[in-house]
Structure 1
Amino acid sequence: MDIKRSLALLFSSYGCFLFGQEKAIDTIYIFDNQMNRVKLFHPVKTITAEDTEKNSTNLSELLRFQSQVYIKENGRGAVSSPSFRGTTAQQTAFVWNGININSNFLGQGDITNMPLFGYDQIGIKAGGGSVVYGSGAIGGSIHMNNTLDFNKGFHGGLFSEVASFNTFNNFVKGSYSNDRFSFKASGNYSVSENDYKVSDLNYINRNGNYYNTTFNAGASYKITDEHKVSWQSQFFDSSQHYPIYEETATKTKYKTQSVRSLIAWDWNKTKFSNSFKAAYTEENFQYFGALDLPKSSGGTGKNYILKNDFNYFLNSKWNINLIGEFQVNKGEGYKSGIVDVSRNVGSVSALLRYFVTKDLRFEGGFKKDFVEDINSPALYSFSGKWNTSKWYNVGLNLSKNFRYPSFNDIYYEPGGNKDLRPETSVQVDMNHEFKVKNFKLTVSPYYMGVTDLIVWLPTALGYWQAFNVNKSESYGLESQLSFNKQLGNHKIGLNAGYYYTRSIDKETHKQMPYVPIHRGTANVDYEYSFLKFFAQGLLNGGTYITGDEDRKAAIDSYFILNAGISATVSKRYTLGVKVNNVTNTYYKTVSFYPLPKRNYSVYAAINF
């Protein structure tokens, strides 16, 4: 494949951007038009819609077993937060169809209140990405993407599951497309009593019930061969009760609703493309200190976003990419001291790519953010990738990233601090990829230093306050081994990973809390004719929960095994059974809140 064809395919985020004399059929629209460019230099793990059915409880479970992300979860279905490479939840960016959707108030995403179903793919990218994806993309980013096909006619599907603890999960989807128009819609409803028992602690997950509802819709229309307009929206409603230890304790709950909507206009020519997006996102949340009383606290956050992505080929070797973005962030709190706050945020990014040959390429990036009332640093990135041979390629990535303070960090009363500085990070990683026949091994050592870390600390006045105090550094190794083979009707796939993480508080020289030093995952898939089998393993090393590395208080290491089998008839009808925690292991990811022991589910799926 010559360099022109490589560019045509790799940069065709929406299918029709070509270079030179190349010609391709426009068959798919991807809302995150940067993702294919990111994959030129960075490993991105893709979790497909079919993969989500293996871990259908929630997004926390999916990420725990199918990615390198460490998940800290306060019991099944409760508050949950991610950690890449020993960083905090606020240093992880959630990106919905190319738009950063971290909370205005918390500066992070609560995974439990991120829908699991309704995406065509979920991408997991470790390492910094603030030059492209903005504040919070320090440790890594989680990408929830939708696509729209053309010339595919009508397709539909239904997934329905009954599981332990009176859990019911239903998902329906439908799509239609011709050569000019594409439409897709889906809906999901999940509900659970979630009253599991853990005999090791004589624990019952009382008041742990939850439900959530999601609706997704998207459409795209080709005005001409060069111009396309598209739309994508998501509506989410959720209620989760917080577990109590005794029946006489006060029962509490948390409710949230979110709206995300964007429209896009794409203009594609032979040598350039331009994607303009206008987006609106809204988050609403209410906390009830007692189930039968009015809400105790809450808030509403609204974001108005304009983003333009211009991509131009100077010639077959040089490519320039300019990204401009402007946001208005608004917040209104209830009993939090946050009263009608507003913040303007703008940014300008420039990326220059040089393709020496089809096997050697480089990218340099620069970004300047303009955040109202905050002095933001200039950011940069540099990446290179060299496919030295058929069996080995190497990549290098260096970047400076940041996170500006959230509304809670600045305005919460009491405790907000208007003098906070943004967190900044400088990091470097190398990616070594080896291929031998059906095996592929990726080994990625990394180093990251974070300064001006924002933490909340107790004060002499009896309340907690936000400060820039900590410095930390993380270093470690991520490795991934995959194997895929088909022999007649037999098909086998293996994905295994080992992750070593040292995240050190530079003041105490101790491991940061809730960062396991050793962690491993393995996923095995076997398919024969109409039968499919999968097994998942998770090994989590001992995890300190305090900053002084107290071994007595630490969470013990554990190994979890899941398995499932399914049968598909006429390529349309599937019936399956899953067993989670086959070994009936007692485990937890935070103190006091164990996760379920062995549990079961039965599901059926129809595709037409």
Structure 2
Amino acid sequence: MSIKRSLVLLFSSYGCFLFAQEKAIDTIYVFDSQINKVKLFHPVKTITTEEAEKNSTNLSELLRFQSPVYIKENGRGAVSSPSFRGTTAQQTAFVWNGININSAFLGQGDINNIALLGYDQIGVKAGGGSVIYGSGAIGGSIHLNNNLDFNKGFHGSLFSEVASFNTYNNLIKGSYSNEKLSFQASGNHSLSENDYKVELKDGRKYTNNSGKYYNTNFNVSAAYKIAPHHQISWISEFFNGMQHYPVFFETEKGTKYGTQNVRSLVSWDWNTTRFTNSFKAAYTEENFQYYGNIDGPETSGGVGKNYIVKNDFNYFLTPKWNFNIIGEYQLNKGNGEGTSMLGDVRRNAGYVAGLIRYFAAKDLRFEAGIRKDFVEEISSPLLFSFSGKWNATQWYHVGLSVSRNFKAPTFNDLYWQPGGNKDLLPETSYQLELRNQFKVKDITLSVTPYYMDIRDMIRWLPTSAWYYAASNTNKVEAYGVEAQVEYEKRFGKHFLKSNLGYSYTRSTDLDIQKQLMYVPFHKFVGGIDYQYDFVKVYVQGMFNGLTYTDSNEIKDQALDAYFVMNTGIRATFLRNYTLGFKISNIFNKTYYTMRYYPLPGRNYSINLNINF
């Protein structure tokens, strides 16, 4: 669905949702037709291309410094996973242009095997979203979105970066559009020897031996208006990457992991005065190979293929009432090879969801939804969600969200031999959050306390037969608060923007009354941007509190608290040329997000961005 003028006029003095929407002219096509509706009821942090270039090393670094998400990374560029609000990577949904792309094998996304550059927007949404985005959207979701402009002519850009540790990052992107046709393509290649050295607390020197990585990503998309109310569109992404896993001793044999992902989506959108309908067909494929000897043959691997059809129907009964019905069917196939011991597996899955939205006035609105999943050999729960937002005064806004969310067992959970369990129940969670926003002149403060109860958590535990098996065991209670303060001011040629975010997280395994591993109690992220004329300067900071690395809160094994700061400067010349320089970890702090794997000390990068 296109972005309409209604997203600007939605809460005009007449509170009109329907008719203002349908009279506007299309300017941008968004592949994820739900994301703009989600933003009407939930805060979604949007990271633009320019913001992403501040942390251009990889998606892990970007999320670490620009979101409340905790990122667990096994060394720079290696295996990496997120944690929202005290949950695990399996409770985080990665959504590519409206399609959930979590691995059918593991039920999660490897952040460093998802390209950073090439997307037009990256969205970070905390809180449950399973009614719309499905399995895994318990703690939160990360949205990777591409947009298409119309009637903009030709535009091209080149981003090239050289950084410490023989790191090179390059992106080329081009687009063309007229009144009926829009086309866009991009290519990104990143590589690094990644051989950084770190001085450890005990005086030893750590070298990230055999930590090389490289990846290539291509995006191509197009849309065509075949009639006044009909449009067809297509987007495809191709990713190929290789990660060499670090070794601690010279006598160790290096290992590596390769992955190739294919994603393709075709959409037919039909927009009329009273309804919109988006029909999508998608194909996603994940291929992976593990090499126990970096110079030897493949040790294990797998291929997962997903065939998806989805229909999203919106009907505007009146200017205040909107009904939304979504249906989806998937055929999931998986094949494990070598020591992965999975074999050929497949399952059928689908769901039906219904949402109703009501706009009582320009200051009050709510949304309620239900969803029923049908997963082969799995008894899936009925899900629900309710969200409301009230602009009580000019300076105070309040929002409430209640939801039930879930995560379906993965192929590994069900079929891995030995240890898979076909009788597993889906993980379910009940969630409540209360959003409070205060705005005084140029300062905005938001405070969001939340509570979450996760049941039937799937864990792999040791058995008497000396192998691990999957079972529903854990009950987890998570609660905390997220706070954000922002300031923005323009005066003459000067522009100042700053933000500071804080999150407190208590996530308890109720069986043993201990904090979950790799869930910090405290995290701060913040930044200051200052611009004068053609020069921009920025500073980023991140504080991460004590983080346990085991299930029993052993402090000797915990990660110490740390504070890391980055700074950079960018200057634009002749309107189209921007030169940037960045210093990361300016205080040369030794810090970990995963035990045994320190991240780099002070390092540098220089980049050039050309628009034409």
TM-score bucket (shorter structure): over 0.9
The amino acid that maps onto 2:375 is V
Residue 400 in structure 1 maps to residue 404 in structure 2: yes
Residue 317 in structure 1 maps to residue 320 in structure 2: yes
Alignment of 1:37-76 (within 5 A): 37-76=37-76
> 2:64 is paired with a residue of what secondary structure?
helix
78 and 268 in structure 1: CA distance in 2 versus 1, 3 angstrom threshold = same
> 2:41 is paired with a residue of what secondary structure?
coil
Alignment of 1:344-423 (within 5 A): 344-423=348-427
C-alpha separation in 1, matches of 2:341 and 2:384: 36
Report if aligned partners of 1:6, 1:358 keep a CA contact under 8 Å in 2. no
Alignment of 1:394-543 (within 5 A): 394-543=398-547
Aligned partner of 1:35 in structure 2 is 35
Report if aligned partners of 1:10, 1:37 keep a CA contact under 8 Å in 2. no
Residue 300 in structure 1 maps to residue 303 in structure 2: yes
6 and 389 in structure 1: CA distance in 2 versus 1, 3 angstrom threshold = farther
Q: Aligned-pair distance for 1:133?
A: 0.2
Report if aligned partners of 1:20, 1:270 keep a CA contact under 8 Å in 2. no
- Which segment drifts farther, 22-31 or 92-101? 22-31
C-alpha separation in 1, matches of 2:359 and 2:180: 34
Aligned partner of 1:111 in structure 2 is 111
Aligned partner of 2:14 in structure 1 is none
C-alpha separation in 1, matches of 2:294 and 2:523: 38
C-alpha separation in 2, matches of 1:546 and 1:100: 30
Report if aligned partners of 1:10, 1:36 keep a CA contact under 8 Å in 2. no
Structure 1 residue runs of 4 or more that deviate by more than 3 Å after TM superposition: 4-11
TM-score (normalised: structure 1): 0.97
Aligned partner of 1:179 in structure 2 is 179
Aligned partner of 1:195 in structure 2 is 195
Aligned partner of 1:244 in structure 2 is 247
Residue 206 in structure 1 maps to residue 209 in structure 2: yes
C-alpha separation in 2, matches of 1:506 and 1:328: 36
Which runs of no fewer than 5 residues in structure 1 stay unpaired?
Answer: 12-16
C-alpha separation in 2, matches of 1:302 and 1:423: 23
> 2:61 is paired with a residue of what secondary structure?
helix
Aligned partner of 1:14 in structure 2 is none
Q: Aligned-pair distance for 1:21?
A: 8.7
501 and 20 in structure 1: CA distance in 2 versus 1, 3 angstrom threshold = closer
Q: Aligned-pair distance for 1:281?
A: 0.2
Residue 88 in structure 1 maps to residue 91 in structure 2: no
C-alpha separation in 2, matches of 1:22 and 1:253: 52
Aligned partner of 1:568 in structure 2 is 572
C-alpha separation in 1, matches of 2:21 and 2:42: 28
Aligned partner of 2:555 in structure 1 is 551
Report if aligned partners of 2:22, 2:272 keep a CA contact under 8 Å in 1. no
Report if aligned partners of 1:8, 1:22 keep a CA contact under 8 Å in 2. no
Q: Alignment length, in residue pairs?
A: 600
C-alpha separation in 2, matches of 1:256 and 1:10: 43
534 and 291 in structure 1: CA distance in 2 versus 1, 3 angstrom threshold = same
The amino acid that maps onto 1:180 is K
Q: Aligned-pair distance for 1:271?
A: 1.0
C-alpha separation in 2, matches of 1:337 and 1:541: 39
TM-score (normalised: structure 2): 0.97
Provide Cα deviations, 1:395-448, integer angstroms capped at 9, x if missing partner.
000000000000011111222111111000000001101111111111100000
C-alpha separation in 1, matches of 2:124 and 2:294: 37
Between the aligned residues of both structures, percent identity stands at 65
C-alpha separation in 1, matches of 2:246 and 2:580: 30
Aligned partner of 2:609 in structure 1 is 605
Q: Tell me which of 290, 293, 316 is aligned to 1:290.
A: 293
C-alpha separation in 1, matches of 2:131 and 2:453: 17
The amino acid that maps onto 2:454 is V
Q: Tell me which of 246, 251, 256 is aligned to 1:253.
A: 256
Report if aligned partners of 2:52, 2:62 keep a CA contact under 8 Å in 1. yes
C-alpha separation in 2, matches of 1:346 and 1:520: 39
Report if aligned partners of 2:7, 2:21 keep a CA contact under 8 Å in 1. no
Report if aligned partners of 1:7, 1:18 keep a CA contact under 8 Å in 2. no
C-alpha separation in 1, matches of 2:52 and 2:368: 35
Aligned partner of 2:136 in structure 1 is 136
- Which segment drifts farther, 411-420 or 342-351? 411-420
Aligned partner of 2:335 in structure 1 is 332
Report if aligned partners of 2:525, 2:543 keep a CA contact under 8 Å in 1. yes
Aligned partner of 2:236 in structure 1 is 233
The amino acid that maps onto 1:148 is L
Which runs of no fewer than 5 residues in structure 2 stay unpaired?
Answer: 12-16
Aligned partner of 1:273 in structure 2 is 276
Q: Aligned-pair distance for 1:337?
A: 2.3
The amino acid that maps onto 1:174 is G
